[in-house]
Amino acid sequence: MRSLTPADLNPAVQNVQYAVRGELAIKAEDLRAKLESKSHGLPFERIINSNIGNPQQKGLDQPPITFTRQIAALMEYPPLAEVVKDVWPSDVINRAKELQAEIGSVGAYSHSQGVPIIRRSVAQFIEERDGYPADPEDIFLTAGASSGVSLLLNMLITPNKTGVLIPIPQYPLYTAALAQFSGIPLPYHLSEVDGWSTSLDEIKSAVEKAEKDGVDARALVIINPGNPTGALLDWRTMENIVKLCEEHGLVLLADEVYQSNLHSPDTHPFHSFKQVVRRLHSKVPLFSFHSISKGVTGECGRRGGYFECTNIDPEVRALIYKMVSVGLCPPLSGQVGIDCMVRPPKPNDPSYPLWKNETDSTHAALASRTKLMAQRLNALPGISCVTSPGALYLFPKIELPDLAVQEAEKQGKTPDTLYALELLDQTGICVVPGSGFGQKDGEHHYRLTCLCPGVEDYVDALESFHLKFLKKYGAEV
């Protein structure tokens, strides 16, 4: 009988890498299981999953927004309205009724592109954000932003021919999807010394290299606010990127899932690529992604997101519809979550005061934690950390002693993986090595989320580990 071994599988599968849930995350799960035994013998009492932007996970416990959850509960069990009608705010009850009248049961498949009324809400949200019209027919609701990215890359890539420009460092969904669909990654480096800024020249030389190598550079991925960097693009750079896409015939994929995670909106505001494209009257084909998993919503588990098509040929849009229809529809819980995100309570609504309080607290906690963590990390020998004005992460650079580099080599690991594994073993803190996102040769980083509870203790643990690590491998501290 013929067996089924890894060698029998689609070779593209072997090439897929996704460090956010890779070796470190798997080891963290094993340690978490060990902690359940009283005599675990580990030097910590809990695992802190700083490897993934998952605000509501156990132990982090960023509270969900009450407005969203009350609506969700009513959607699940409509007779509940009678029970809570004098207790829950009237706008919550009304919103749930409005959605039920349109959707019917959340247990039914919806339109494959997403519930029409929710797509209309998304279009209105975009119009208000950008000052330019948006068409519900151009909106596709998805199971989180990832599934939209993955689908569109699959559609854009002719295997082993099509190249896609990706930032380095990048969120590894992009390299994973490129490997899965046999696309060719065309990396362009972000400039760490310049606050992880995006350089047009870097992108241009990546395009020119592709041309020389006979690769068809077809799409440009921009992550703004950046992941893992937290950087924000300024308007001028965005204009130049759009012009570069025009010049080189690139489709622009704008990953904007952190658009509401802004820690210094006055100095570092967010602009959407949709707005830039419209302001320039550009015809660049653009797909823009958003999600309920990040922001202050943090509803990762519902799997809700959307993408908007701008300047996309209706025939291409029809093909996208065909492809999403094979998967039937995105989860209704995510779709309802999208509605709550893009249509939050208004100042005079009964839900507004609580909603405002909850979202303000989450914004403030994230901004102050990010600032404090960056300050404390920067004060350490051998660490430099760009203070990120957006998103949920820091991506500190670590100088590792030669002995550590040699030890990593001996173990067949990258030096930053050695560092991250020892950090996990000694503190229970799980971060992702920089090699999972890409970095310049000889450099080392790690990504950590700024979602930890008790930030002082958390940074104490990072600090004391770092100093011990340097000592262990013979650095002068």
- Using CB under 8 A, which residues numbered 29 to 88 contact a copy of itself? 29, 52, 54-58, 61, 64, 69-70, 72-74, 76-77, 80, 83-84, 87
- CA–CA distance, 388 with 111 (Å, rounded to integer): 39
Burial 76-106 (b: 16+ CB within 10 A, else e): eeeebbeeeeeebbebbbebbeebeeebeeb
163 binds a copy of itself (CB under 8 A): no
HEC letters along 247-262: HHCCEEEEECCCCCCE
Q: In angstroms, give the least distance from the CB of 267 to a copy of itself.
A: 31
191 binds a copy of itself (CB under 8 A): no
Of 257-296, binders to a copy of itself (CB under 8 A) are 283-285, 293
323 binds a copy of itself (CB under 8 A): yes
- Helical spans, DSSP H, in 303-437: 314-326, 332-342, 352-378, 402-411, 415-427
Nearer to a copy of itself by C-beta: 52 or 233?
52
Q: In angstroms, give the least distance from the CB of 72 to a copy of itself.
A: 4
Nearer to a copy of itself by C-beta: 86 or 476?
86
Lookup result for tokens 């599968």: 13
Of 325-344, binders to a copy of itself (CB under 8 A) are 325-334
How far CA 103 is from CA of 31, 182, 305, 307, 333, in Å, comes to 43, 38, 18, 20, 12
Q: In angstroms, give the least distance from the CB of 114 to a copy of itself.
A: 12
96 binds a copy of itself (CB under 8 A): no
Interface residue with a copy of itself among 127, 128, 133, 155 (CB under 8 A) is 155
Nearer to a copy of itself by C-beta: 37 or 348?
37
Interface residue with a copy of itself among 95, 302, 445, 466 (CB under 8 A) is 302
- CA–CA distance, 435 with 433 (Å, rounded to integer): 5
DSSP letters of 26-95?
HHHHHHHHHHTSTT---S-S--EETTS--TTSTTT-PPPPHHHHHHHHHHH-TTHHHHHTTTS-HHHHHH
Q: In angstroms, give the least distance from the CB of 94 to a copy of itself.
A: 17
Nearer to a copy of itself by C-beta: 253 or 374?
253
21 binds a copy of itself (CB under 8 A): yes
- CA–CA distance, 351 with 144 (Å, rounded to integer): 26
Binding part of the chain for a copy of itself, among 19-27, 194-202, 271-279, 456-464 by CB under 8 A, reads: 19-27
107 binds a copy of itself (CB under 8 A): yes
- CA–CA distance, 194 with 379 (Å, rounded to integer): 19
Nearer to a copy of itself by C-beta: 193 or 328?
328
Nearer to a copy of itself by C-beta: 112 or 259?
112
